Structure 1
């Protein structure tokens, strides 16, 4: 019961990874706010059914949960979601920023609407939820944020400029929260999931290579991500903050973060020509390759 007496908000927990995290946190002793608007990945339709299904699973296992169907993409809604936890359970200890949508499109065809809708849910939503909970965390001098990022942002992918930008932005948001709120014993970490879910079902599977990649991903159920989320939210991780993790089947990864990897110095300063002549050859061997997530994580999960 690593989360006994704690209250967790899990956004986008009507299905997939969010549902598995919500259920696992309830099994670990937390009281859970299930937040989900019940819409498709394309934003069509609104239903309480997904959240009700998650609630039923939690209650069947002896846990406690309440439902909120507000969208995280609005500041006023984020405050309502946090207030749901306060009204139902008297406090809030954990926020899992999992809610997400997809609007995949090749960059030169991406519309402003496709860009903004994804940024609003993923990045703005993570800020709004974190900011709404921050006042409670600060006053009680405790709290844990678990933000869901993606290797699409950490490494890169085709056709996901909006999603990748949002997910990498979440990493910077998490680090800033970790730095700013450390004095209040508030922790903030990122989790980059590997799983077959609604969010990955749009991955192309046309070429033999693409089909092989999708087959690998389909072997990884969303439940594989829940144990790490529970750990990061628990007091067992009280010294862990500002980090980026990924669970992949039975593997766990700790990601590096941007640091200088090569430098050159010129006593007389630099001109564009001198950069081309001296700096470029010195840097070239250390350039980051043009890889996608599937290129880096190319082996079969075990």
Structure 2
């Protein structure tokens, strides 16, 4: 109906001309005192309207055919295949003016597709290089770890602590790169097993016994013996990133800082909750915490944050089908919950 209305408005002048000619013809018939004046006038009028409608209908049909042909041709282009002889013949039968436009579009699409393929190839090569580098760099880092363990007595306590912290941070960044590459892979090697939350949390907390600047943090592990079904390495990585983020946003003005881990069952979900009394985040920032590169407005946290930790947490949680819930108030602290479906036997 829209096509009819559009064509009627476009060629309405021809209908008006036909009607005016019918009026003049009717006037001549009336002056000639034709007996069948009324019948002839209505006949002329009907034929004029019929001719206009048929003409508009043919134009609409032709336009739709051209649109379908164009759509099919573009689909063939997007499928990255050559046109068949039949399709090529239809292409040649297209009006030259429109064919020129379509050929320009065809060439442009081909060019964009080639550019896209080139960019995808360059991106893949870059990601492969970064992933290979991350694997290779683990060898010298392991050597540094071995030296620190064997030469601990030869260093002062402060030097050893700084070296150990720097080594641990480098390993964390390498782990982030590897997990980022893992998240972007088509085939992922997640292994789902029944895991005790208490055991995993105890292992993770062993890596976080002191704050980076020497300020003590009270670590509260109140996780129960709930068993969940998930990927152990993925969960371990998520907990590392959350605790690392909590350490970055500890409030230096507070005399007592803590990071607490608790677990509980609520309905058909088992929740693992990690909370602290750090700097916190503004309410308007909460929807963006899991966006790549987002660091918030907290000046102290921004100096150390990269915006990748919680982004990787969010992506890994999606892959493992974990529910995430965040609550925070500026100056009061930060709380994040992970929800696991209850295992029924």
Do they fold alike, i.e. is TM over 0.5?
no
Larger RCO: Structure 1 or Structure 2 (Cα < 8 Å, ≥ 6 residues apart)? Answer: 1
**Structure 2 length-normalised TM:** 0.22
What TM-score do the two structures reach when normalised by structure 1?
Answer: 0.24
Higher-Rg member (1/2) = 2
